[in-house]
Structure 1
Amino acid sequence: MSASAIDSGTVDEAPHGSGSQTFRRAFRDLKDGFGQRELWLSLGWQDIKQKYRRSVIGPFWITIATGVQASAIGLLYSALLDIPLREFLPYVTVGLIVWNVINASITEGSEVFISNEGLIKQLPSALSVHVYRLVWRQALLFAHNLIIYLILLVALGVWANLSWASLMAIPALALLGLNAVWVAIVFGIFATRYRDIGPILSSLTLLLFVLTPIMWTTQSLEAQGGQVAERAKIAEINPLFHYLDIVRAPMIGQPQEAYHWYIVLAITVVGWTVALLGMRKYRARVPYWV
């Protein structure tokens, strides 16, 4: 048993030791993991390179795939919903780009410790390193997809709709990353203990994709009036709608209500509370569960 492994508290720590079940150790894990950024920055970038090894254009296949998907959905649903393509395509494209981050945070987050079983058991590092690695990898993929957004800014004149309020996309993206961390921690811990949670989350995110205004708009439903307009309000119950809106609205120059931010901030506080409780009680048991 090495001294470094004992000090890290990730491999050799007794799962039922009272010293491991403290908030101090939970915060220390998060702090130590962030301090090992050379490790998770390198691993996250290596994940991208490994996936597209021997490919001519490499990770830009991600950009192409997202662009094709957004174009297909935009062309079809703009006709079905009778919304001008010039207005609807940026809405769909940015929605898909942000959704990819949200979806990966949930589905890949639930596998974050299981997929790193070898490293967790052999490498004396903080448990949060694997979470930061996941979030960093998604940030890289998001950056690649932003190329599509930049093209739309020029090609469709989206830049004309932007204002100083569009800078709110920056703190919104930071808040999205902060939430991705707690989501990966919470789902990662419990999906490691209960392996059925991963498949359940995959099915749930597929359902939420349909229920989240990505391929459709709440405005188009409200314009129809009657029961359809009332049902459009159901989207407000979906928490992912609010995460999507705080990023997408400023990026395409749409007006935004402040309550979206209030809801996201409230969920962030609750989520991090659950994450810290989970890290406090179960972080030392994860190496035994994987």
Structure 2
Amino acid sequence: MQATSTVDSPPTPTDISSRSWRRAFKDIHDGLRQRQLWAHLGWQDIKQRYRRSVLGPLWITIGMGVTAGGLGLMYSTIFGQDPGKYVPYMTVGFMIWYFIQGCLLSGTEVFIHNEGLIKQLPAPISVHVLRTVWREFLLFLHNLVIYLLILAIFQPPVSWTVITAVPAIFLLLLNGGWVVLLFGVASTRFRDIPPVINSFMQLLFFMSPIVWPIDVLEQNAGPRAWLAQLNPIYHFVEIARAPMLGTNQSWHHWVVVVAFTVGGWLVALLVLRNYRARVPYWV
């Protein structure tokens, strides 16, 4: 029997490791170019939620209005606050919180819930990330109607500084991107992460100055009030809420948010580079 020898063929130019920065950035670039796809899917998510409903997505606005009116008047009495100042404070805080909460909770299941599309549709995984962030932003825009009503009813001292809310919301969107991407990949690999995040969301809500005013904490906690600065949600809420209500704002909130934006995207891009190709197998 004649023995045969085999010689390894040299690697071809197409044999490029999936773990490359080029492919990671190409995934994001291709995802952004497919705007019609993720924009349509995001809007369909909202329409599907309120299918056969008479008012449709208007229930999002109605829900926010009921929450702002009911809880605002109740908690203003509990905290001894002026309803004219407290209701706008709490309402805008809820609007921003719902967006943050939506990105966190939806991000943990973004790839798990889209298993069929990921396995059948040859699209960048960033499409599903953009779809989720776009959907949560649409919900935020629906709630923006209540903000306009707040301006008409309570007339907070809003000035030209309200335009700084635009870059603040842009930063929220940027951070929503890396949150959904990072937690989406991690949760696809480790299925214990979604229930853990769900368990801590209520605690995170009550630890953030959404329903309780920060000045009340400073009056009652004294030197311990600085602990609120350790909560990143506080800074994300404050950079958008302060200009939307015409209140004073410290520059350090922007520093913290920009630092989280840069650091978060660096970690998310590293995860995208190393584990992008494994997501279809993990789901």
In structure 2, distance between residues paired with 1:154 and 1:75:
17
Match for 2:143: what amino acid? N
Specify the alignment match of 1:260 in structure 2.
253
Mapped pair 1:235 → 2:228: yes
Matches within 5 A, 1:95-134: 95-134=93-132
Kindly indicate whether residue 159 of structure 2 is the aligned counterpart of residue 166 of structure 1: no
Give, as a single letter, the amino acid of the residue that structure 1 aligns with 2:160: W
Residue by residue over 1:147-179, the C-alpha shift from the partner in whole angstroms, topping out at 9 and shown as x without a partner, is 000001111112xx1112111100000000000
Q: Which of the residues 179, 187, 193 maps onto 1:183?
A: 179
- Secondary structure of the residue that 1:93 maps to in structure 2? helix
Shift of 1:75: 1.2
2:192 to 160, 177, 196: 196
* Secondary structure in structure 2 of the residue aligned to 1:284: helix
Q: Percent identity?
A: 52
Aligned partner of residue 113 in structure 2, secondary structure: coil
- Pick from 253, 267, 275 the counterpart of residue 268 of structure 2: 275
2:72 match: 74
Residue by residue, what CA displacement relative to the aligned partner does 1:98-127 show, whole Å, maximum 9, x if unpaired? 000000111110100001000000000011
Answer with 1 or 2: which has the greater Rg: 2
Give a deviation string over 1:233-280, Cα, whole Å, max 9, x none. 211110010000001110011100000000000011110000000000
Aligned counterparts of 1:66 and 1:202: Cα–Cα separation in 2: 21
How far apart in 2 are the matches of 1:214 and 1:164?
24
For residue 254 of structure 1, what is the amino acid of its counterpart? T
Instruction: Please list the CA deviations of residues 18-47 of structure 1 after superposition, one character each: whole Å capped at 9, or x if unmatched.
Output: 621011110000000010011001111111
Amino acid at match of 1:126: P
Which deviates further from its counterpart, 230-239 or 140-149? 230-239
For 1:107 and 1:51, how far apart are their aligned partners in 2?
A: 16
Q: Cα offset for 1:230?
A: 2.7
The residue aligned with 2:82 is 84
**Partner residue, 1:3:** none
1:208 maps onto 2:204 in alignment: yes
TM-score (norm 2): 0.93
Aligned to 1:223: 219
Q: C-alpha offsets along residues 178-227 of structure 1, whole Å, 9 cap, x if unaligned?
A: 00000000000000000000011111221110000011011022234xxx
| Residue 231 of structure 1: how far off its partner (Å) | 3.1
Q: How many residues align?
A: 269
Q: Deviations over 1:81-114 (max 9, x none)?
A: 1110000000000000100000011111010000
Unaligned 5+ runs, structure 1:
1-16
Gaps of 5+ in 2: 1-14
Shift of 1:73: 1.9
The TM-score, its normalising length taken from structure 1, stands at 0.91
Choose which of 130, 153, 156 in structure 2 pairs with 1:155: 153
